[in-house]
Amino acid sequence: DISPLLKDPAAFRTLIDLLEDHLRASFPKIDFIAGLDSRGFLIGPPLAQRLGIGFVLIRKKGKLPGPTESVSYALEYGKAELEIQSDAVEPGQKVVIVDDLLATGGTMCAACELMKRLKAEVLECLVIIELKLLKGSEKLKSIPFYSLLQYD
């Protein structure tokens, strides 16, 4: 639950500071931050603004206008679909995907698949909290992954 971070402006600023410092130290060039629906939308835009880059939306099916790419993925309790606008990124552009939490990894893997379909380069998947017991980061295979906090 990231609600306490969102309620405290100093804590939220510190969160964005930490994520910004990590990305600046890790990647000399990033074209876009891509945020996952919906809590990635809270972290991604201020982070993108700090880095002086754009932000793109990865949303649940049916929420984006215009042509989209979509991918289905399994949840613990069923199936879901994610979409991105077909022109959100250009082939070869460098993207960092952000969300609040990594649990089983299904949603993050689906987001990576969308970026692959658009021929973007995923530099890293970035989350605030990782639930290590669920081993979601293992599903990301060769895609770099970073979590600020880890819980067993």
Residue 105, judged by CB atoms within 10 A of its CB (0-12, 13-18, 19+), counts as buried
* Catalytic one of 13, 20, 69, 76: 76
Residue pair 66/53 in contact (Cβ under 8 Å)? The answer is: no
Residue pair 13/40 in contact (Cβ under 8 Å)? The answer is: no
Whole-number Å distance between alpha carbons of 94 and 29: 7
Whole-number Å distance between alpha carbons of 84 and 69: 6
Q: Could you say which DSSP state residue 133 is in?
A: G
Please say if 83 is a catalytic residue.
Answer: no
Please say if 39 is a catalytic residue.
Answer: yes
* Catalytic one of 20, 39, 50, 113: 39
Within a 13 Å sphere around the CA of 72, how many CA atoms are in the beta-carbon half? 2
Return the active site residues: 39, 76
